Chains A and B, each alone.
Chain A
Amino acid sequence: MPEGENPRAAQAEPRLSDLLPAGGLQVVTIRSPSPRGRLLGVEAPHLPKGYLLIEARDLPGANRISCFGSELPILAEGRIAFSGEPVALLAGPDTAVLADIVAKVKVRVEEEEPLVNWESFSSEQVAAKRVASLGDPELAFSIADKVVERSYRAEALEHWYSEPQGALASFDYDKLEIRCATQWPYHVRDSVARALGTKPEDVVVRPTRLGAHLDGKLWYPSLLACHAALAAFLGKRSARLLLSREEDFLYSPKRAPEAVALRAALDKSGNLSALDVRMSIHVGAQAPLAEELLSQACLAVQGAYVCPNLRLEGYAVTTNSPPLGAFGGLGAAPAFLAIESLSTELAEAAGMDPIEWKSRNLLRKGSRLLAGDPLKEDTPFDAIAEQLCRASDFRRKWAAYELVRKRRSCRSEGPMRGIGLAFAHQTGVFLSGSGPNSYTVEACLDKDLRLLLKTSAAICKGGIADIWRQSAAEILGIPADKVSIAPPDTDGSPNSGPVTLSRGLSVVNRLVERACTAIQKRRFRDPLPISAKAIHRLPSSSAWEPNRVAGSPLESAAWGGAVVEVELDSWTLEPRTLGLWLCVEGGRIVSHARAASALRAAASAALSSCMRERLAFERGAISREAFLSYETLPLAEVPPILVEFLEAERRSPAKGLGELPFDTVPAAFLSAVSQAAGIHFTTLPLGPDALSALEDA
């Protein structure tokens, strides 16, 4: 039997929470109580035998991890960048004793006033900047028939992934074995090797079960793995660090908030003639994903619309908050929120219904984007809109709700309802050039015609792995149950890059196909077993440069739309969602049932993020009360979610589409609530200000 016989390898991985090696060390993080200042030192009581305190000076290697072009300290040294920043580690065998010691540890900081403002900021806070333009926006604005301005804001969100983060480091003969739930096993390996000053081959990462992650486990597990590895290395025993849910909530990266100010010009025909964008993304301290978040947001902010004159200024801004970053994608969702919400207002200003306005202004073959080559094909948004309108009865409802809204003089005059529609695309490619640029998948066909696939992306949920198996089986003409997937361990599987942006489909699946195609070509002339590697290397000019990214980042994009219908409770004025419809063009869909299920799960999370999941920072830190009171939308309040697919040609590649609900549902929701209330809301999640505005209206 080939290694990794279990075809559902990803689901067989153990949970980190269950791994408790006997005789090992537990590791606890000592954190800065202050958000900014000079670190003066750590004072700890006398430690019992078998307990150790680890500070930055104890690292045998570099006190740094790298992520998408940024470098972060593993333990704070000299300067404190945010409240809760790891300053030291305490390791020992007994958790109760550790808890007693931690209570007596003092971290001394010479405090400075923290930087907390990210919407107005100084140049020292800029971690990344993008300035780009198309055409002549100044001229277009000067001759515009109408100008509409609005500023939008998307707040921080908690991932609430399946398991709090952590890592276990132990010795496996001559190697250090790391076990953690991570979207990027090789990043963990390389980070740990660097921290210990050893070769990457001396470290093996065996990922534990990942569960639902919403992109919250992209790079942070690597930091925790370094912590566990240090404790194991210095304590000469296995060491486990598992954050409590509370600690994870307070200190691990959250979604980066974004503020997008849009100014749009309409010509006499009501078409979009110019767009002026100013956006800032709050990336917190150390900004590990700043370049990529900004690049993705800049691409998304044009939305689905052609705009011949466009000016953009975008900033990723650091503060003394914990690092902030990805959530269901890499920064695009808030940008779509802004442009799609504005499009509803533009339709109103042009005197059209939203569908008509969107259709007239859609990106088409030859349309220019802020980044990349002109589009080679029309976008499928007209077909998506048609399907959504049919499924949701959008046009009739929108018109009816508009009529009621315009005539309403008080809230008792019938239900307050609204319906919104939004479009988005999902690219599946990194844009900033700061990410990894080479991904590999291996395949091996043995004498019994069984295929073994090897990829570090095998941490994906079972459904993606089944798609790989099916793709491989189709190409090789073998039954799918003869295809197995090796565990995603770094000593057995090649580096397939981080699992995000649905790359399991958009990149890894294509590499599986290429590797299998290579085997198929050799199969009847070369003896078995035959192995093949498929390597994808990003072109060197794939980074965002002003006005271009090489190629078209939308070439392999998935396209989608959402309709959300809401009603405001006549007593509390809180919105209740009546219906949610999605339509997606995701290329070849291997399993409609699975794809629909994944889209619905993402849509539920996206809806929850609109209404309930409020998370605020106070002086750069999240409060304990925020943790205790954080709530997701109860399942019972999620309406039926209907998903339809636009059928693609049989030979179309499979595309990643799991983020489309995060990119579309919030904007559709905001438009719907705005119609129901008769007010243009601009911030999600809806907060107390929204209710004040409703009350005043």
Chain B
Amino acid sequence: MTFSFILNGEDVLVKARSADRLVDLLRERFGLLGPLADCRHGACGKCLILLDGRLAPSCMLPAFKVRGREVITLEGFSQTDEYADIKGGFEEAGLELCGFCDNGRILAVAALLERNARPSRDEILGELSAVPCRCADPETLTQAVAAAAERRARRLYHRARQ
């Protein structure tokens, strides 16, 4: 089948089989290596993308499910101010991720902060439970997200004042 969808802000056309998973299309056809194809049953969170603004595991999306919809990968998100807030917060807290879960964790934090500008420890860890990687500890993750939230709040405040 051939269909179009919006990928990182651009209209794209793709030919795919119904059995193709979106994560493989993104990586192999579009060269977008942010989402990783790992567990392939929605458990590891490494393939997360934003589908119409919501977190979704791209391994659980057969190609036809994105027809006419908007997909944002880490590559697309990395052009945003929100991404800079998150990266800055992570660095400020000294959070070192393993390089495999970054995609899922960054997008999960983005989705969380969009809904909740000042999440609590439980809310942060609840959201990040979608990316169960062993590389980082809960405390540093919490501090990193709190730092990201702080940066985001300051940026929005300054923007509002302009």
The answer to whether A and B belong to the same complex is: yes
Q: Which one of B35-43, B77-85, B109-117, B151-159 is at the interface? A: B35-43
Whether the Cβ atoms of A634 and B100 lie closer than 8 Å is no
The count of residues in chain A whose C-beta lies closer than 8 Å to any C-beta of chain B is 39
Question: Please, which residue of chain B has its CB at the minimum distance from the CB of A164?
Answer: B38
How many Å lie between the Cα of A601 and that of B39 in the bound state?
Answer: 21
B-contact 0/1 string along A593-627, CB 8 Å cutoff = 11001111101110000000000000000000000
Question: Please, which residue of chain A has its CB at the minimum distance from the CB of B39?
Answer: A245
B90-131 CB contacts (< 8 Å) to partner A: 94, 96, 98-101, 121-122, 125-126, 128-129
- Asked if B86 lies at the interface with its beta carbon under 8 angstroms from chain A, I say no
A605 proximity list for chain B (CB < 8 A)? 134
A625-639 CB contacts (< 8 Å) to partner B: 628, 631-632, 634-636, 638
How many Å lie between the Cα of A159 and that of B38 in the bound state?
Answer: 14
How many Å lie between the Cα of A18 and that of B23 in the bound state?
Answer: 13
The count of residues in chain B whose C-beta lies closer than 8 Å to any C-beta of chain A is 32
A-contact 0/1 string along B127-140, CB 8 Å cutoff = 01100111111111
A631 proximity list for chain B (CB < 8 A)? 43, 132
Whether the Cβ atoms of A640 and B99 lie closer than 8 Å is no
How many Å lie between the Cα of A594 and that of B139 in the bound state?
Answer: 12
- Asked if B141 lies at the interface with its beta carbon under 8 angstroms from chain A, I say yes
Kindly identify which residue among B36, B96, B99 contacts A463, using a CB–CB cutoff of 8 Å. B96
- Asked if A200 lies at the interface with its beta carbon under 8 angstroms from chain B, I say no
A580 to chain B minimum Cβ distance, whole angstroms, is 10
B99 proximity list for chain A (CB < 8 A)? 11, 15, 162, 209, 211
Whether the Cβ atoms of A160 and B134 lie closer than 8 Å is yes
Whether the Cβ atoms of B137 and A601 lie closer than 8 Å is yes
Whether the Cβ atoms of A638 and B138 lie closer than 8 Å is yes
Kindly identify which residue among A17, A462, A634, A640 contacts B96, using a CB–CB cutoff of 8 Å. A462
B-contact 0/1 string along A234-250, CB 8 Å cutoff = 00000000001110000
A interface, CB within 8 angstroms of B: 11, 15, 17-18, 20, 160-164, 209, 211-212, 214, 244-246, 461-463, 593-594, 597-601, 603-605, 628, 631-632, 634-636, 638, 640-641
Q: Which 7 residue pairs of A and B lie closest in terms of their CB atoms, listed nearest first?
A: A600-B137, A211-B98, A162-B100, A634-B129, A601-B137, A212-B135, A635-B125
With A17-B38, A212-B134 already in contact, 16 other A-B pairs whose C-beta atoms are closer than 8 Å: A15-B100, A162-B99, A162-B135, A164-B38, A209-B99, A212-B98, A212-B133, A245-B38, A245-B44, A597-B94, A598-B137, A603-B137, A632-B134, A634-B132, A636-B125, A641-B137
Q: Name 12 A/B residue pairs within 8 A (Cβ), A-sorted.
A: A18-B33, A162-B98, A162-B134, A211-B98, A212-B133, A462-B96, A597-B96, A601-B137, A603-B137, A635-B132, A636-B125, A638-B138
